[in-house]
Amino acid sequence: MTSRNTSATRRKWYIGVLGQHAPEEPVLALAYRIGKGIAERGGVLLCGGLGGVMEAACRGAKEAGGITIGILPGSSPDDANPFVDFAIATGLGEARNFIIVSASSALIACGGQAGTLSEIALALRLGKILAGVRTWKIEDHRGKKDFFPSFESAEEAVEYVFSRLQGAK
Amino acid sequence: MTSRNTSATRRKWYIGVLGQHAPEEPVLALAYRIGKGIAERGGVLLCGGLGGVMEAACRGAKEAGGITIGILPGSSPDDANPFVDFAIATGLGEARNFIIVSASSALIACGGQAGTLSEIALALRLGKILAGVRTWKIEDHRGKKDFFPSFESAEEAVEYVFSRLQGAK
Amino acid sequence: MTSRNTSATRRKWYIGVLGQHAPEEPVLALAYRIGKGIAERGGVLLCGGLGGVMEAACRGAKEAGGITIGILPGSSPDDANPFVDFAIATGLGEARNFIIVSASSALIACGGQAGTLSEIALALRLGKILAGVRTWKIEDHRGKKDFFPSFESAEEAVEYVFSRLQGAK
Amino acid sequence: MTSRNTSATRRKWYIGVLGQHAPEEPVLALAYRIGKGIAERGGVLLCGGLGGVMEAACRGAKEAGGITIGILPGSSPDDANPFVDFAIATGLGEARNFIIVSASSALIACGGQAGTLSEIALALRLGKILAGVRTWKIEDHRGKKDFFPSFESAEEAVEYVFSRLQGAK
């Protein structure tokens, strides 16, 4: 009797990358390095599958030999950016954000507009591991602010989420 | 020939009230007055249909003779608080937050935890009229903070959203 | 101390009416009488909120003094037919069919195209009380056919679902 | 300048396999061969990610060197059967059926209970290429029956959907 030796049987971490369609250049550079870092550590990159932060992160992951999955709002896989390996065309519009968060083991938010903030909040709501890099700051009505750690570099954010996933922290 | 004279033919505003299940007392008092204010102006109150802010707001609306609709996460209408007129048991879990925001003409956030923040962010994402009362403060990565007005009193928040809906502002 | 006497505290049955946008005239006449029957027995009519069977059923319900709720695919309550009292603009596209079925205590299917068949199947999947009038016939791969009763008249179908809801059958 | 040479840039067909959790043995054997056939033709297999038909199809695909994606109802990727390469834990419950259909270029239904019928109907509603093998028979209220072709063998069904996708038919 032999062990199964398929890619399906290895433990996988799904790391969601959150960010907007059309950010400024420094945010894109961060996203690229986040994607690269995720792939280098063997994580599967999940994202919204479109342009901007999503595309930069996917490009980084592919250049490091990783796997990328795009959870699209529309109904055609052709909407995905060219660095998406597998496109899930949900047909759910903006409600697809919920799936990205639900399906991720941990998430990294980078820059972002309101859509990204909604994903950050859903990640907190669902108790996911979450790191931010140059993203939203939030404060609740009692003045509490420390909902998730914020980092200056992509590498620190990637290091943080994998440490947490591996129980090292 | 006569005009139709059914409740279905009057112009309706759907006002979403966002807030958490188990807040402190002052937030509940605010929620009650928000619900009351919405009903006094003829708005239909939409909310998550459960307890806390949701129940206090529905109670306020019912005491002012209004109509309340609860968009529930579970699959039984019996989960609704007793001040919900119509319970929509979506069976979608937390993803039902998306529907509350989508279905509202305008929204008022009051106190709240991460679920409320996700609804605030979705409201901004969908371009909805939004007011806050003692709720989350948010700041994007460029330091922008003025995403929605925050008020001290329930009455000001209600006044604000109806003024905006009626194009008075 | 008095009992609460709001419309919110009465036991409500939510009856979903399933059917297509543009059916032939006899199906519309059936839908009208289904809506009327639901309202006469005090049920709240749930449907997709658009035209055809949905509009005919809502018209029947309103003429009998009932309440109608439309669960819309789009993001504007103005998409609802004029006989919808409360429009829930879900923004979920066709996925909103799931909510109609989930939120209904019992359902009546009338005529219909593929969208209606998907709702019939979801109703069976979720174990809902279901009746058909001039609608789809289905047979599984083992030859089983009796998944839900089919009636010739609107009145029989309405009678059936209310009997089942009240435990009389 | 070189062309991009990543797995992300090849044209992919996503083939959904629909079927129940606990079918009889002959249906499982069919599902296995459907999965194998999809992988042999280079298709990416999409399914609900759980047991029964879903697991048998994934096993067939993996043994032929293919790729499998499971769109799960729950919130943990660990719910997936061991032959799922990538698990998308949607957290949407039964509403995840909608995503399987939306994300597939073509679908093959095999055996099945009510959940499978709802997916068949959604596939018709969304205009997807669809083939059946020993699955539901449907007839609309006007007596129309030929909504999708039904085959005796897994191989014929696979051949049919790929022919349609490649415009050969």
Split chain C (169 residues) into runs of 10 and give each run's mean pLDDT. 44 94 90 98 97 97 98 96 98 93 97 94 96 96 95 97 84
- B2 touching chain C per CB within 8 A: no
D162 vs D37: CA distance, rounded Å: 10
Percent of chain D clearing pLDDT 90 (strictly above)? 86
Angle at B49 between CA B48 and CA B52, to 5 degrees: 90
The answer to whether the beta carbons of residues B66 and B39 sit under 8 Å apart is: yes
Query: Is the sign of the CA dihedral D6, D12, D18, D23 positive or negative?
Result: negative
Q: Which of B125, B134, B138 sits opposite A138 (nearest CB)?
A: B138
* Residue D23 pLDDT class (50, 70, 90 cuts): confident
What six digits make up the tokens of D154?
């897994």
- Residue D140, pLDDT > 70, answer yes
What six digits make up the tokens of A34?
């986040």
B162 vs B13: CA distance, rounded Å: 9
Task: Please answer yes or no on whether A94 and C92 come within 8 Å at the CB atom.
Answer: no
Best probe of the A interface among C92, C98, C99, C118, by most A CBs < 10 A, is: C92
Cα dihedral D81→D82→D85→D90 (10° resolution): 30
Q: Amino acid letter at C2?
A: T
Output the pLDDT for position B23: 81
| Closest C-alpha to C133, from C34, C61, C46 | C34
- Specify the residue for token string 């950050």: A120
Task: Please answer yes or no on whether A95 and C91 come within 8 Å at the CB atom.
Answer: yes
CB atoms within 10 A of CB B111: 25
A112 vs A120: CA distance, rounded Å: 10
Q: What is the total residue count of chain A?
A: 169
* B96-154 pLDDT per residue, tens: 999 999 999 999 999 989 999 999 999 999 999 999 999 999 999 999 999 999 999 99
- Between C19 and A4, whose confidence is greater? C19
ipTM: 0.92
D22 vs D8: CA distance, rounded Å: 34
CB contacts under 8 A, C 25-84 vs A, are none
The Cα of B124 is separated from the nearest Cα of chain A by a number of Å equal to 6
Task: Give the HSE-up count for residue C168: Cα atoms under 13 Å, Cβ half-sphere.
Answer: 7
What value does the mean pLDDT take over residues A45-66? 98
Task: Please answer yes or no on whether C84 and B8 come within 8 Å at the CB atom.
Answer: yes
Q: Amino acid letter at C36?
A: K
Contacts of D95 in chain B (CB under 8 A): 91-92, 95
Contacts of C113 in chain D (CB under 8 A): 125, 140
What sections of C1-153 are H helices per DSSP? 25-40, 53-63, 96-103, 114-125
Task: Please answer yes or no on whether C92 and A92 come within 8 Å at the CB atom.
Answer: yes
Element (H, E) at C149: none
What six digits make up the tokens of D148?
């999708």
Task: Please answer yes or no on whether B92 and D94 come within 8 Å at the CB atom.
Answer: no
What b/e sequence results for D56-76 when a residue is b if at least 16 CB atoms lie within 10 Å of its CB, and e otherwise? bbbbbbbeeebbbbbbbbbbe
Task: Please answer yes or no on whether B126 and A95 come within 8 Å at the CB atom.
Answer: no
The Cα of D83 is separated from the nearest Cα of chain A by a number of Å equal to 5
Element (H, E) at C150: strand C150-151
Contacts of D91 in chain B (CB under 8 A): 93-95
Output the pLDDT for position C168: 52
Q: What is the pTM of this model?
A: 0.91
| Closest C-alpha to D39, from D168, D149, D167, D162 | D162
* Residue B6 pLDDT class (50, 70, 90 cuts): very low
Percent of chain B clearing pLDDT 90 (strictly above)? 86
Output the pLDDT for position D10: 59
Task: Please answer yes or no on whether B125 and A135 come within 8 Å at the CB atom.
Answer: no
Contacts of A16 in chain D (CB under 8 A): none
Separation in Å, CA B9 to CA B86, C82, C86, C169: 18, 6, 10, 37
Average pLDDT for chain D: 92
Task: Please answer yes or no on whether A92 and C94 come within 8 Å at the CB atom.
Answer: no
Task: Give the HSE-up count for residue B14: Cα atoms under 13 Å, Cβ half-sphere.
Answer: 24
CB atoms within 10 A of CB B73: 18
Contacts of B98 in chain A (CB under 8 A): 94-95, 98
Q: Amino acid letter at B7?
A: S
C160 vs C2: CA distance, rounded Å: 36
Name the residue in chain A with its Cα closest to that of B98.
Answer: A95
HEC profile of D34-80: HHHHHHHCCCEEEECCCCCHHHHHHHHHHHCCCEEEEEECCCCHHHC
Q: DSSP string covering chain B, please?
A: -----SGGGS---EEEEE--SS--HHHHHHHHHHHHHHHHTTPEEEE--SSTHHHHHHHHHHHTT-EEEEEESSS-GGGS-TT-SEEEE---GGGHHHHHHHH-SEEEEEE--HHHHHHHHHHHHTT-EEEEEEE-EEE-TT----SS-EESSHHHHHHHHHHHHTT--
B7 vs B4: CA distance, rounded Å: 9
Order of strands across the sheet with A129-135? A86-89, A67-72, A44-47, A14-18, A106-111, A129-135, A150-151
Contacts of C94 in chain A (CB under 8 A): 91
- Residue D30, pLDDT > 50, answer yes
C93 vs C167: CA distance, rounded Å: 35
Q: Which of B27, B111, B118 sits opposite A118 (nearest CB)?
A: B118
| Closest C-alpha to A35, from A10, A9, A58 | A58
Neighbours of chain A (3+ CB pairs under 8 A): B, C, D
Contacts of D74 in chain B (CB under 8 A): none
Q: Which of B120, B141, B147 sits opposite A112 (nearest CB)?
A: B141
The Cα of A142 is separated from the nearest Cα of chain D by a number of Å equal to 30
- Residue B28, pLDDT > 70, answer yes
Task: Please answer yes or no on whether B126 and A94 come within 8 Å at the CB atom.
Answer: yes
Backbone angles phi, psi at B162, to 5 degrees: -70, -35
Task: Name A109's bridge partners.
Answer: A18, A132
Cα dihedral B49→B53→B56→B60 (10° resolution): -90
What six digits make up the tokens of D167?
């415009």
What six digits make up the tokens of C2?
């008095």
The Cα of B147 is separated from the nearest Cα of chain A by a number of Å equal to 9
- A125 touching chain D per CB within 8 A: no
Angle at A140 between CA A136 and CA A143, to 5 degrees: 110
The Cα of B91 is separated from the nearest Cα of chain D by a number of Å equal to 7
- C22 touching chain A per CB within 8 A: no
Task: Please answer yes or no on whether D95 and B91 come within 8 Å at the CB atom.
Answer: yes
- Residue B157, pLDDT > 60, answer yes
Backbone angles phi, psi at C94, to 5 degrees: -60, -20
Output the pLDDT for position B2: 37
- A144 touching chain B per CB within 8 A: no
- Between B167 and D127, whose confidence is greater? D127
The answer to whether the beta carbons of residues A98 and D96 sit under 8 Å apart is: no
The Cα of D47 is separated from the nearest Cα of chain B by a number of Å equal to 20
| Closest C-alpha to C84, from B69, D125, B107 | B69
Contacts of B7 in chain C (CB under 8 A): 85
Element (H, E) at D136: none
Contacts of A95 in chain C (CB under 8 A): 91-92, 95
Q: Which of A68, A75, A102 sits opposite D89 (nearest CB)?
A: A102
CB atoms within 10 A of CB A166: 10
Contacts of D91 in chain A (CB under 8 A): 98-99, 102-103, 126
> Going by DSSP bridges, is the β-strand pair A137-139/B137-139 parallel, antiparallel, or unpaired?
antiparallel
Q: Which DSSP letter does residue D113 get?
A: -
Task: Please answer yes or no on whether D91 and B91 come within 8 Å at the CB atom.
Answer: no
Contacts of B90 in chain C (CB under 8 A): 99, 102-103
Name the residue in chain C with its Cα closest to that of A91.
Answer: C93
Separation in Å, CA D54 to CA B46, C142, D29: 39, 19, 12
CB atoms within 10 A of CB D126: 20
What value does the mean pLDDT take over residues A2-7? 42
The Cα of C143 is separated from the nearest Cα of chain B by a number of Å equal to 31
Output the pLDDT for position C11: 77
CB pairs under 8 A between B and D: 13
C118 vs C98: CA distance, rounded Å: 9
The Cα of D8 is separated from the nearest Cα of chain A by a number of Å equal to 4
The Cα of C99 is separated from the nearest Cα of chain D by a number of Å equal to 9
The Cα of B137 is separated from the nearest Cα of chain D by a number of Å equal to 28
* Residue B24 pLDDT class (50, 70, 90 cuts): confident
